[in-house]
Structure 1
């Protein structure tokens, strides 16, 4: 598209539609845009190339490993790490392009892991996978801030999540809660990337990686009570949803706002699970309020309350959204469910119905097909789930499914007509 525009510029200048100065500015703009695009592409291929080179070296050495004497093995173990440090230092001091720094950072990151593994193998140092991952992550922590590399924080998040999964789910001797310390260490670098306020694919990726990492790793806080663990997850998803409502995410699309997407979807899925009476009767028998998971719930509740207060203070209570207050409503239902599972089940079903209707209303008012269908999907899921714990005749079930399908079609058709009419008016 840019080439077509630049080719048309001489004709536009000749016919007096634009001035020569404007034409030069347009050329300069597209030249800068193309250069930026090519630099990004070069960075991506540089990172990919560094990863493949590192893996290739490891495979070659692994194939001939048993034939080398010990001192050769040690040289081979440290050599990639030394080369990586040298290239990274060269790219920093010579102020090379971003592609140089990113590629060198990725190469050095994997070289450190290979060095630890090889030295452990040479000297037969015993240890488990969690200890290996922890040592690898800690040794690579300086890469987050020394190189200012975006690849470093992405790799850091992936590997600390893997560490939490291995250490937490397996309940090994390694302390899994070190995950949260490692996550907090990466937080300042995350905020630095956000504060640049420039459209960045890395920032959008981090808006998904941070919440996904917490979702995967949170079970390490569940020691005694699965019921309180469910409360903890509902609160976590509510925190994510309210983070996604902050002014920073106001102009972001859904793909750039992982917090809001995961928060809303996670809350809905958990509430649908809790809409079955069986869950309340069998999972809420033994609860320990003097536990790590309950302390985590209190912390998440406080964070969610602060976020809601800030969001509504900025918005000046322009529009009430029940999704913002699910954590408060569910907290009340949770304690009711301890004494009366039936009442809690009914209240959860009513809450889901309200959330579905709210999403439909918001989608209709904003002419947003995605939100409209999301709300209808919540209502449809709620009705479908009730088929499994009620004695409704099959004929009536089939009729309800037909009505749900007809409702989807009708709502989308009406929305389409209104949207088309609004475009014609404007």
Structure 2
């Protein structure tokens, strides 16, 4: 870098001091080193995974010809190697992220391989759900001892897989309550990672993996009154969106946080699904009994998530005032009102359609206000999909439907053209 070459000349000319020159050198060295370090970390993690898979494949090739004792030795071999590597890392290389991540990931998969091999050798009964649960329980300490963010991500994937296997994919279904305890177990590491490296790639990946995992697994809590899970999901997406509106995520680029995307996209998808009459007709025919509803776990989950979302909304309003609150933030409140009305009246389907239309218009307004084409077009897409949904369940003539689509297409063109012209004139 040319500025580093000129530092000595600047010192000799008494323009800067030697201390300032050293600080500049350290700054640029720190700034230029991360790409190579990141690449080394990625290759370290991939190398650990490939070596582990290679060892398993080599052993598997001659597996049937080995004695039980030899099989047991080979079953524990990856686990021993992984522990030795982690021990060496803690003693000699604890400041190396590549060593920490690589050895931790190797040990993580070694644990899974050893458990499965020992179970197969000694015919220990069990299903995939119990195997995943045991694997994740054993590997949780690795995350904290090794300070491994890659292992944390694999852990989140593992507990999500366990919950899906236990409550979605197996029959008879089992409760996956252990997922929530394991999820709480990984949150302190997520907090420490955020405090230490808020803009690191590992933190960004956690910001995407955590809301995705919660979105997938929340449905496992459905039991007797499944209708209430819609309230729970609206509140969950409200929480995601409001977390994305917190100061840190609001100042960072959109890719740094999946919370706002999951919150807004999840809310729109649910609103569009519930804009049809089928759900509200089933809700009115369900004849929900009040005592059964308030004693159900779905009610407790919906209530808890709604209270958390309401608290975040209150803080958001207190900070920004109503005029500056984003359109997606209070949607969960409006849906709760529509849900209560929908227990007795068909008006809820109409209200949902009004919500979607208003949400699209307010999003277009927000995009124009921020001079952001992405937000503006998102609002147009919301209105377009709403019109498409009504295309299938209304008795409008083909001419009327065609006029609607032509109008929306013209709206796309005109709003984008207006926005581009506005940018040119600024």
- Give the TM-score taking structure 1 as reference length: 0.92
Change beyond 3 A, Cα 1:171–1:311: farther
Instruction: Identify the residue that residue 269 of structure 2 maps to in structure 1.
Output: 269
Alignment of 1:303-314 (within 5 A): 303-314=308-319
Counterparts of 1:40 and 1:260 in 2: how far apart (Å)? 26
Contact 1:237 1:264 in 2 (8 A): yes
Q: Work out whether 1:403 is the aligned partner of 2:407.
A: yes
- The alpha-carbon distance between structure 1 residues 383 and 175, as it changes in their structure 2 partners (threshold 3 A), is closer
| Deviation of the 1:317 alpha carbon | 4.6
What is the Cα deviation at residue 322 of structure 1?
3.5
The reply on whether 1:325 has 2:330 as its aligned counterpart is yes
Give the total of aligned pairs: 416
Q: Separation in 1 of the partners of 2:104 and 2:362?
A: 47
**Take 1:413 and 1:336, find their aligned partners in 2: how far apart are those partners?**
41
Residue 246 of structure 1 corresponds to which residue in structure 2?
246
Structure 1 residues 100 and 66 mapped into 2: Cα distance closer, same or farther (>3 Å)? same
Measure, in 1, the Cα distance between the counterparts of 2:315 and 2:325: 14
Q: What TM-score, normalized to structure 2? A: 0.92
Distance in 2 between residues matched to 1:83 and 1:115, nearest whole Å: 12
Give 3-state SS (helix, strand or coil) of 2:124's partner. Answer: coil
Which residue pairs with 1:297 in the alignment? 302
Q: Secondary structure at the match of 1:141?
A: helix
Conserved? CA contact 2:75–2:117, under 8 Å: yes
- Contact kept, 8 Å, 1:131 with 1:174, in 2: the verdict is no
104-113 or 386-395, larger mean C-alpha shift = 386-395
* Structure 1 equivalent of residue 111 of structure 2: 112
* Aligned-partner Cα distance in 1 for 2:8–2:381: 53
Structure 2 unmatched runs, 5+: none
- Answer yes or no: is the 8 Å Cα contact 1:226–1:283 preserved in 2: no
Q: Distance in 2 between matches of 1:373 and 1:34?
A: 37
Instruction: Tell me: CA distance 1:284–1:168, structure 2 relative to 1, closer, same or farther (3 Å).
Output: farther
Residues 190 and 171 of structure 1, relative CA distance in 2, 3 Å threshold: farther
Whether 1:90 aligns to 2:94 is: no
**Greater mean deviation of Cα atoms: 197-206 or 179-188:** 197-206
Equivalent of residue 31 in structure 1, options 29, 32, 53: 29
Q: Distance in 1 between matches of 2:22 and 2:424?
A: 39
Q: Counterpart in 1 of 2:257?
A: 257
Where does structure 1 lack aligned partners over 5 or more consecutive residues?
A: none
How far apart are the structure 2 equivalents of 1:174 and 1:134? 13
Contact 1:84 1:105 in 2 (8 A): yes
CA contact (8 A) 1:227 1:284 kept: no
Partners of 2:283 and 2:343 within 8 A in 1: no
* 1:312 Cα offset (Å): 2.2
- Determine the C-alpha separation between the residues in 1 that align with 2:390 and 2:194: 43
SS in 2 for 1:275: coil
The change in CA–CA distance for 1:122 and 1:27 in structure 2 (over 3 A counts) is same
Matched-pair contact (CA < 8 Å) for 1:362–1:372 = yes
Q: Find the aligned partners of 1:185 and 1:10 in 2 and give their Cα distance.
A: 49
